[in-house]
Amino acid sequence: MWVVKESDVDSVCKNYIGGQWVEASSGETFESINPANTSEVIGLFQRSRTEDVVRAIDAAHAAFPGWSRTPAPARAEILLRVGLLMEDRKEEMACLETREMGKVLDEGRGDVQEGIDMAKYIAGEGRRLFGETVPSELRDKWAMMVRQPIGVVGLITPWNFPVAIPSWKLFPALLCGNTVVFKPAEDTPACATRLVELFEEAGLPPGVLNLVTGYGPEAGAPIVEDERVRMISFTGSSVVGREIASRAGRALKKVMLELGGKNAMIVMPDADLALALEGALWGAFGTTGQRCTATSRIIVHRDVAERFTDELIERARDLKVGPGLEPDTDIGPLINQQQLETVDKYTEIGRQEGASLRLGGKILRGGAYDRGFFYSPTIFDNVVYRMRIAQEEIFGPTVAILPVSSYEEAVTVANSTEYGLSSSIYTQDVNTAFRAMRDLEAGITYVNAPTIGAEIQLPFGGVKATGNGHREAGTSAIKEFTEIKSIYVDYSGKLQRAQIDVEQHGA
């Protein structure tokens, strides 16, 4: 239907509802722009509202009986074809992602590869979808648990991983037999549209996957409110996540939330400092710090804090900020003007709190920087764990260094925030490593690696305010997107009463 071309401002992209590409009922559109060059319009997209969402839910609801009764291996075959198409179009999709979201091209490739990996992994689950068989306490009685689809699910995704995160949700949701209404972030609708095109090309039946683009209050809220949507899966800010949980909870819907993080990397005195420095640079400044797993706090033992901090500053000083398509760029732009202002606001907060600004802390201006949302790599030293810059998610290229005097203090500081997504420790002491695996309050813990780099075959998610206890990826994804049904088959030919008859018939 649509191919993105450089400076193609005439591309008007449509919603995908019931197997058709259609305009929003209002006739209104909005622009998606390149955050590295705001004069470049990626395309025009439908500004959907309640009427459009209702049409999408109608289509998903109508398609559910046929799709849910399609054998899981057959569903998996279609999803595998999507993954193979993604593999074939990887470079094209990565370039589009860099232009629309801003991350450097290598990271764009990694984002698409994560979607490919998820497609292949989930396709294999189509021949498993494990349940359980267990012995009954009564004679001539069969007992088992099976997994069944939930129904229509609403998927609301963020802009920072515009292919990977939708893939985490779409592939398992569809494999399990659900039908989907998909609302991507308004900052990255082109990536979502391209992904949905591949599902269409792979032969997904009409109505099984429906795309509506637009803004959260106009296109996201109606998905949450409609009683026919049985589950909501949302990745984004904690503020919005709490609102979704509140609204969906009144309707007793299943809600899966993946929210914020304030992730800590601990550096112990015996750490391989060269390795820890590489991890800190990648964890703090990869994706311009716009990851929920970004290394936003580095907790360093005082014995090595000065050396570590000085070397980190020198290395970060050499990072090149620029458009993600330029081959020598290390850090791309922030996603939009609002995020640029938010990151800059936190720099001022850090100064006022008394932290030492050792590097950066400014909006980059002049030349090509004036066309985009560029911010300098920022390092604060002598940060106290109670400071806002050590407690609140900044979502930018800002890292706080907190010196500590012991392992115990390091863990206390690491666990001091309301979040609990990802954590990391650098040490060559196996005993310390295992203590950290036990003690850190997080859904993910890395040893001798930064806080980013999750793989799709293990569960992804966190504790405390990072979410509501659910997990994406791995076999957990299958559990999240299914309902459990327990089944008993009594072939004894007589009434048997569980628990009451157990003594009588057990011998």
Q: What is the CATH number of the domain that holds 185?
A: 3.40.605.10
- 8 A C-beta contact, residue 59 and residue 207: yes
Residues 330 and 275 occupy one common structural domain: yes
Residues 58 and 86 occupy one common structural domain: yes
Residues 271 and 214 occupy one common structural domain: no
Which parts of 362-495 fold into alpha helices (H)?
A: 407-414, 430-439, 474-480
Residues 236 and 279 occupy one common structural domain: no
How far apart (Å, rounded) are the C-alpha atoms in residues 43 and 166? 20
To the query of whether residue 186 is one of the catalytic residues in this protein, the response is no
Q: pTM, whole model, 2 decimals?
A: 0.95
Residue 5 belongs to a domain:
no
- 8 A C-beta contact, residue 425 and residue 434: no
Domains contained in the chain, number = 2
Stretch among 188-192, 401-405, 489-493, 501-505 having the lowest mean pLDDT: 501-505
Residue 377 belongs to a domain:
yes
Residue 148, helix vs strand vs coil: strand
Residues 272 and 409 occupy one common structural domain: yes
Within 8 A by CB and 6+ apart from 58, the residues are 18
User: Is the pLDDT reported for residue 489 higher than 60?
Assistant: yes
pLDDT tens per residue, range 441-472: 999 999 999 999 999 999 999 999 999 999 99
To the query of whether residue 392 is one of the catalytic residues in this protein, the response is no
Instruction: Give the DSSP letter of residue 11.
Output: -
Within 8 A by CB and 6+ apart from 372, the residues are 34, 35, 36, 37, 38, 102, 323, 333
Q: For residue 7, what pLDDT is reported?
A: 42
- Kindly calculate the radius of gyration of the chain based on its CA atoms and give it in whole angstroms: 24
- 8 A C-beta contact, residue 59 and residue 206: yes
Residue 498 belongs to a domain:
no
How far apart (Å, rounded) are the C-alpha atoms in residues 347 and 387? 12
User: Is the pLDDT reported for residue 132 higher than 90?
Assistant: yes
Query: Choosing from 97, 107, 258, 472, which is the catalytic residue?
Result: 258
Residues 122 and 180 occupy one common structural domain: yes
Residues 302 and 334 occupy one common structural domain: yes
- 8 A C-beta contact, residue 59 and residue 209: no
- 8 A C-beta contact, residue 23 and residue 14: yes
Residues 166 and 254 occupy one common structural domain: yes
Provide the edge-to-edge strand list for the sheet that holds 15-17: 20-22, 15-17, 209-211, 179-183, 152-156, 229-235, 254-258
Share of the chain above pLDDT 70, in %: 97
Residue 6 belongs to a domain:
no
Residues 327 and 341 occupy one common structural domain: yes
pLDDT tens per residue, range 43-58: 999 999 999 999 999 9
For the segment 490-501, the average pLDDT, to the nearest whole number, is 91
Residues 157 and 38 occupy one common structural domain: yes
Range of 25's domain?
15-259+467-485
**Region class of 291: left (phi > 0), else alpha (psi between -120 and 50), else beta:** beta
Query: Choosing from 114, 292, 393, 480, which is the catalytic residue?
Result: 292
Length of the chain: 507
Residues 255 and 341 occupy one common structural domain: no
pLDDT tens per residue, range 61-84: 999 999 999 999 999 999 999 999
φ, ψ of residue 121 in degrees (nearest 5): -65, -50
Residue 438 belongs to a domain:
yes
E runs forming strands in 319-409: 356-359, 378-381, 398-404
Stretch among 6-15, 34-43, 422-431 having the lowest mean pLDDT: 6-15
- 8 A C-beta contact, residue 86 and residue 115: yes
Provide the edge-to-edge strand list for the sheet that holds 378-381: 356-359, 378-381, 398-404, 295-301, 263-267, 422-426, 444-447
Q: For residue 504, what pLDDT is reported?
A: 57
Of 495, 478, 490, which is closest to residue 171 (Cα–Cα)? Answer: 478
The domain that holds 422 is classified in CATH as 3.40.309.10
Residue 324 belongs to a domain:
yes
Residues 272 and 253 occupy one common structural domain: no
